[in-house]
Structure 1
Amino acid sequence: MAAVRGTIAFRNLKPPVSDETLQVLDSFGFHTATPVQASTIPLLSTYKDVAVDAATGSGKTLAFLVPMVEILRRLTDPLKAFQVGAVIVSPTRELASQIYHVLGPFLTTLRGVQAMLLVGGTDVTAEVAKLKQTGANVLIGTPGRLYDIMERVTALDFKNLEVLILDEADRLLDMGFQRQLTAILGHLPKQRRTGLFSATQTEAVVELARAGLRNPVRVEVRTQAKAQAADTESFQSKTPSGLTLQYLICEGDEKPSQLVHFLCQHRQNKIILYFMTCACVDYWAIMLPQLESLSGLQAVALHGKMKQAAREKALAMFSGMTAGLLVCTDVAARGLDIPGVDWIIQYDPPQDPNVFVHRVGRTARMGQSGDALVFLLPKEDAYVEFLRIRKVPIEERPKCSSVPNIVSVLRGAAAKDRDIMEKGLRAFVSYIRAYKEHHCTFIFKWKQLEAGLAAMGFGLLQLPSMPELKRNVLSIAGFQPAKGIDVSSIAFKEKAREKQRQKNLANKPPRQPREPEPDRAPKKERKETAEKRRLHQKVEDDEEMNREYRLLKKLKKGTLSESEYEQVMSMPDMQLVEPSSNVDEVQDSTHLNGRGSDSKLSKRFARSTSRSQSKFKNRSVASTSKKRQA
């Protein structure tokens, strides 16, 4: 394992970096290599596979772009149009686009080498047509699109591939790209140099390294941070050394007020605000700038459900700001190098704890300083110790007690505009369901979530109809429905949308009354236990035997004729009139129906009596056996 501390000038690296590459680095303002660059560039440049584990914001992008360019520069035979010399795989479109634009100035120093960006959200047919016409030597893209292009464009020649880079490898696996990565590796020659870069080394990453790398050199670079409290020993931190981390504990209905108070204090800063879901981003991105205390705030939304063009526009807009707010999901948590970010705010902790260090890594990059704040509910305070165990130092930020009540403002805005009301409802529902997907369920206990307070924090006027609330799975204590407001009459501020809504309501067929369901027996009566069923069956059998026995006795005594007996036996439900109790009416058995002893009836009586006695005897023995076993 290679470990490098300190810095070294790019000009002093061995083997030496070409003058053309040094000029591009100088134009970027990069004169000194970071530890990860100083250790990785020489290894990749000398044709060694590397598995790099370095803190986010440590300069991993240049750590693989510089040696890749140097390897392509040293080729004795220039690459032809359809010969691919390098492939870079990235988990997200934004990160792939960033790598593509950073690589651009370096490729201008290589004669005839062309790169192409291949990501989802663009017209794949146009990309296929362009590749078939002009080809490309360096492919940069996301796994799904790269695999698709490899299958469609058979003219691309990968036999001369020199370098394969897997950036943010842990994220590639977490997002379910295992099948695509395996297929991509199957298209590439084994005689290549491979670089695997990640901020966290998971078991899946180790397995990928074993499958895709040959005798790799592991490079691990960590920053030194001071220990917390009384402990003065230093430890290896997974966060940048210039980063200050804080946490703030408050209830769900207090979070909006604390957030707005913080944003008011830092209006001149460039801030990234993270939420768990796309619906939450849509709600807060439109709601925050409408608050009077935040008037003039430039807020940009970014999440995975936006179209590719809108995502690129949002990222470019925020990158060009000197102060403003990017409201986003974890789509902007990995690898993006956005200049000048002062604060990272995590309104919701990430579902995957590994993403925490990637979120906060968007600030304090390349040795700069930065700050980060995470909001926690009172029942989530164990997350603080969890972070410290994972070598993420964090301090408490006290809650401000004298802040304006923003919840009433949120509810007032929802009562005036149906768009805000519906966005708030969708955000709340998505938050409740996303909370259930937390990886750390021992800290983020879904059934202990105060849904009522959370609903107040989203400015809801009424609770939505959802199973989690109907069945009392979650607590709705603390929620106060808005009085005197008919939510069905709230209109859209946008006239065109309101007109369409009214049209839809007019065309909506009247609701048919539901037919009453037939009465059903109570569940306890419907479902009898097996023991009760056996008991009922035994009682019925006993009654049947007793009935048959009594009939035979009547037949024997002559109070019942044989034809009557046969008729009664063929109709089990037929009721008999009990014979008179007068002894004079009972005939002697030897003079049945005025005849002598009837052997046929005697035999039938004997068989029935024997059968009844045998059944009673067997049940008595079984009952005694069960008692002994008990």
Structure 2
Amino acid sequence: MYQPNILLPFSPRYRYVVCSRNRRTDMALVTPQASFRQLQPALSPPTLAALDLLGFDTATPVQEATIPRLLRHQDVAVQACTGSGKTLAFVIPLFELLARRDDPLRRHEVGALVIEPTRELAVQVRTVAQRLAEAHHGFTLMLMVGGTDVHAETQAFREHGAHVLIGTPGRLHDAMQRLKEMSFRELELLVLDEADRLLDMGFEASLNSILQRLPKQRRTGLFSATQTDEVLQLVRAGLRNPVKVEVKVRALPKEAATGAAQGGKAKVQATPSSLRNFYMICEQQEKLPQLVRFLRAQLDAKMKVMVYFLTCACVDYYAAVLPLLAQLKGANVRPLHGKLSPQTRTRTYEWFVSQHAGAALLCTDVAARGLDIPDVDWIVQFDAPQDPNAFVHRVGRTARMGRSGQSLLFLRPKEDMYIQFLQVRKVPLEQMEAPQALPSLRPEMTKLLLADRALVEMGARAFVAFIRAYKEHQCTYIFQFDHLDLGELASSLALLRLPKVKELGKKRKKSKPDGGWVQWAPIVDVDMDTIKYKDKQREKQRQHNKRLAASKAAAELADDEGDALGKANSAAARSPPSSDSSDDEAEMAREAALMKKLKRGKISNAEFLRQVGESDEDGGDNNAGDKDKGEVRGRSTSTPQERAQSKQRKKSSSGPVVQTSLKIRGAIDGKKAKRRLLRPKGNVTGPRKHLMAKV
């Protein structure tokens, strides 16, 4: 394995350029012997003592260029590569400006405001600033970030106040609205750290509201590793006559760096010269085996590694699966991304900082900005970032402050144009040949998924999230979605079935010769409902939810059947009765009335039979005269069998009422349908009610 020579801190390969308005001055190379004690205006003894305790004696180029200008009350817009010492470049003048005030600040008067894009950065800056605040007695600091107790924060400010506020835009803006005691009339310095990230994360509205509360007569420092159009607009809006400080890194020939030769032509690059960047070209299914092999080698060598993924869901999935694989069994691996709770993010960050060797942090771009994590040996980018500017920030977590470091980028063959793109942006890269083909991890991962339903769900979320994020790449010409093989992606995640992704639409269906959505098949055929959670509590809850869902579905089905029956009955009620059935309906209404009287005891059973024509005495077959018109009306000479057959013929020819009941019976099947017919829903009255009760 290649191990570059460790360069001394603040190598003479640094070169900075200072621009003021339209003037551009190319300064000489900064010597590594530039001391904080040599800066003009001179720093105060408490500041120098604090720097000695921190172990800082030599100023970096960005510090040497920025600190004097802020102390001379100039606004600065600083662009410098990662790991160049930007934090001390604004923390030192912050306390110097407050210490040089003629009138001391009162308890609720804020003298300096530092705005950071993430809580991790804010915590890191607070840690450095606290050391200098201890040297300058009388200054109080307060951290305002999400995930903390708002009530306790409010009480602390009202009781103790804060001369220096460090926090994120949303929480600071909320505090300004909530704390009427907070005064910015004596503000000396405003710092916007990682300004491009502040704008990318959607804090523009909060920033504008904060700037409106601040006095115009103040110093402003804007710091970033990259300058975008949005940052330039912020410079024009928030800074007055700013001095642009741009620190560039020139990679000199090795002979010039070692002193063996001089005058070699320098080549400007966007990353520290002590950082060596590699890339590896491999297919989608080979990326994970290569990553596992690489991590095993680095962890065995006691290296500290950060691995970047495209989405939070991918981080969660791989953080759960990798330590379960045979090659990485029990590996020291943890996830860090923006969807974790603030407390979890803080604990994970502190854990990784405390690790000296043999640890891996799986993360998203939430850990790509400004975090100063000591002794990171390797930066691995499993997925290229959506924003090309994030590449520089990612690799900047290593090779900080002149230390050595290395990075590795995985790319698919159809993404190799990204190499030329980065080289145009002055990022040097070298190819690392992929080792011989490694065995697939899919069978082993499939066994893990079959044993835990949680992994199945995490894999599905990772698949969907990756597709959506890949479609939003800013370099769409390089990372073309149509070139992404979804079958290989699903296989690399060891999915058991393909999730539905509505964003694909018809376009993806047409992209395959056979018209299919994607060419892929699982290696095992399994009923997904039989896969259980390894967590017994979650599995118990899942079974409970299944029972609730089944009960709800049954209730909805019953309601649907009742609605169908009610609609059919309503349709029958709206249809006009046939003239052929009017006599029959009248007879059935009469029989229903007699049935009620019988149940109430108003008539006897014999009287009921006589009235309905079932008695051997006076019959009730009112139509018997049709056969023999010589008989007296109401008298029947037919036998009981003939009268029963006559009643059956009438029922079979009863017109639309019978047809309606048959229609209802056709709409509902099974025993349940018959039961519903016996208990019709809706306003069913008169003959229809009698008829349906007989069905």
- The equivalent residue for 2:105 is 79
> Deviations along 1:531-586, whole A, 9 cap, x unmatched?
xxxxxxxxxxxxxxxxxxxxxxxxxxxxxxxxxxxxxxxxxxxxxxxxxxxxxxxx
Counterpart-to-counterpart distance in 1, 2:331 and 2:37: 44
Counterpart-to-counterpart distance in 2, 1:481 and 1:91: 42
Q: Helix, strand or coil for the counterpart of 1:164?
A: strand
Counterpart-to-counterpart distance in 2, 1:139 and 1:467: 45
Of all paired residues, the percent bearing the same amino acid is 50
- The equivalent residue for 2:283 is 251
Q: Helix, strand or coil for the counterpart of 1:33?
A: coil
Q: 1:484 aligns with which of 525, 538, 541?
A: 525
Moved more, 86-95 or 293-302: 293-302
Query: Alpha carbons of 1:127 and 1:156: their partners in 2 closer, same or farther (altered >3 Å)?
Result: same
Kept in 2: contact 1:272–1:327 (CA 8 A): yes
- The equivalent residue for 2:395 is 360
Kept in 2: contact 1:272–1:341 (CA 8 A): yes
1:278 maps to amino acid: C
Counterpart-to-counterpart distance in 2, 1:441 and 1:176: 22
- The equivalent residue for 2:232 is 206
Q: How far off its partner does 1:211 sit?
A: 1.0
Counterpart-to-counterpart distance in 2, 1:400 and 1:412: 26
- The equivalent residue for 1:317 is 351
2:338 maps to amino acid: G
Map 1:370-449 to 2 at 5 A.
Answer: 370-449=405-484
Q: 1:344 aligns with which of 367, 376, 379?
A: 379
2:52 maps to amino acid: D
Kept in 2: contact 1:34–1:59 (CA 8 A): yes
Counterpart-to-counterpart distance in 2, 1:13 and 1:27: 18
Counterpart-to-counterpart distance in 1, 2:154 and 2:133: 22
Kept in 2: contact 1:4–1:35 (CA 8 A): no
Q: How far off its partner does 1:124 sit?
A: 2.2
1:438 maps to amino acid: H
Q: 2:327 aligns with which of 293, 314, 327?
A: 293
Q: 1:280 aligns with which of 300, 314, 333?
A: 314
- The equivalent residue for 2:540 is 499
Q: 2:223 aligns with which of 197, 203, 212?
A: 197
- The equivalent residue for 1:110 is 136
Q: How far off its partner does 1:5 sit?
A: 3.1
Counterpart-to-counterpart distance in 2, 1:4 and 1:426: 53
Q: Helix, strand or coil for the counterpart of 2:362?
A: strand
Q: How far off its partner does 1:413 sit?
A: 0.8
Q: 1:261 aligns with which of 290, 293, 296?
A: 293
Query: Alpha carbons of 1:440 and 1:448: their partners in 2 closer, same or farther (altered >3 Å)?
Result: same
Q: Helix, strand or coil for the counterpart of 2:427?
A: coil
2:330 maps to amino acid: G
Map 1:62-211 to 2 at 5 A.
Answer: 62-211=88-237
> Deviations along 1:90-111, whole A, 9 cap, x unmatched?
1111101100111001001222
Counterpart-to-counterpart distance in 1, 2:93 and 2:325: 50
Q: Helix, strand or coil for the counterpart of 1:111?
A: coil
Q: How far off its partner does 1:226 sit?
A: 5.7
Ranges in structure 2 where 5+ consecutive residues have no aligned partner: 1-17, 20-26, 255-263, 561-695
Matched, 1:5 2:29: yes
1:279 maps to amino acid: A
Query: Alpha carbons of 1:470 and 1:89: their partners in 2 closer, same or farther (altered >3 Å)?
Result: closer
Counterpart-to-counterpart distance in 1, 2:35 and 2:253: 30
Map 1:323-334 to 2 at 5 A.
Answer: 323=357, 324-334=359-369
1:237 maps to amino acid: Q
Q: Helix, strand or coil for the counterpart of 1:108?
A: helix
Query: Alpha carbons of 1:29 and 1:404: their partners in 2 closer, same or farther (altered >3 Å)?
Result: farther
Query: Alpha carbons of 1:226 and 1:408: their partners in 2 closer, same or farther (altered >3 Å)?
Result: farther
> Deviations along 1:183-211, whole A, 9 cap, x unmatched?
11111111111111011111111111111
Counterpart-to-counterpart distance in 2, 1:119 and 1:497: 33
Q: How far off its partner does 1:234 sit?
A: 3.2
Kept in 1: contact 2:46–2:136 (CA 8 A): no
Ranges in structure 1 where 5+ consecutive residues have no aligned partner: 516-630
> Deviations along 1:415-467, whole A, 9 cap, x unmatched?
11111111111111110111111111111111221111011111111111223
Counterpart-to-counterpart distance in 2, 1:176 and 1:443: 26
Counterpart-to-counterpart distance in 1, 2:393 and 2:338: 17
Query: Alpha carbons of 1:4 and 1:318: their partners in 2 closer, same or farther (altered >3 Å)?
Result: farther
Query: Alpha carbons of 1:252 and 1:226: their partners in 2 closer, same or farther (altered >3 Å)?
Result: farther
Counterpart-to-counterpart distance in 1, 2:243 and 2:422: 29
Q: How far off its partner does 1:483 sit?
A: 2.4
Counterpart-to-counterpart distance in 2, 1:175 and 1:5: 36
Q: How far off its partner does 1:402 sit?
A: 3.8
Task: Calculate the aligned-residue CA RMSD, in Å.
Answer: 2.0
Counterpart-to-counterpart distance in 1, 2:39 and 2:524: 71
1:55 maps to amino acid: C
- The equivalent residue for 1:605 is none
Kept in 2: contact 1:43–1:50 (CA 8 A): yes
Q: Helix, strand or coil for the counterpart of 1:426?
A: helix
> Deviations along 1:77-96, whole A, 9 cap, x unmatched?
11110111000011111101
Q: How far off its partner does 1:177 sit?
A: 1.2
Counterpart-to-counterpart distance in 2, 1:386 and 1:499: 52
Kept in 1: contact 2:285–2:492 (CA 8 A): yes
2:241 maps to amino acid: N
Query: Alpha carbons of 1:227 and 1:443: their partners in 2 closer, same or farther (altered >3 Å)?
Result: farther
Kept in 2: contact 1:462–1:482 (CA 8 A): no
2:547 maps to amino acid: A
> Deviations along 1:144-202, whole A, 9 cap, x unmatched?
11111111111111111101101011111111211111111111111111111011111
Q: Helix, strand or coil for the counterpart of 2:135?
A: coil
Map 1:608-627 to 2 at 5 A.
Answer: none
Q: Helix, strand or coil for the counterpart of 2:540?
A: helix
Counterpart-to-counterpart distance in 1, 2:163 and 2:40: 26
Matched, 1:464 2:499: yes
Counterpart-to-counterpart distance in 2, 1:21 and 1:300: 37
Moved more, 464-473 or 43-52: 464-473
Query: Alpha carbons of 1:159 and 1:430: their partners in 2 closer, same or farther (altered >3 Å)?
Result: same
Matched, 1:242 2:268: no
Counterpart-to-counterpart distance in 1, 2:141 and 2:66: 23
Counterpart-to-counterpart distance in 1, 2:533 and 2:28: 60
Q: How far off its partner does 1:301 sit?
A: 1.0
- The equivalent residue for 1:597 is none
- The equivalent residue for 1:30 is 56
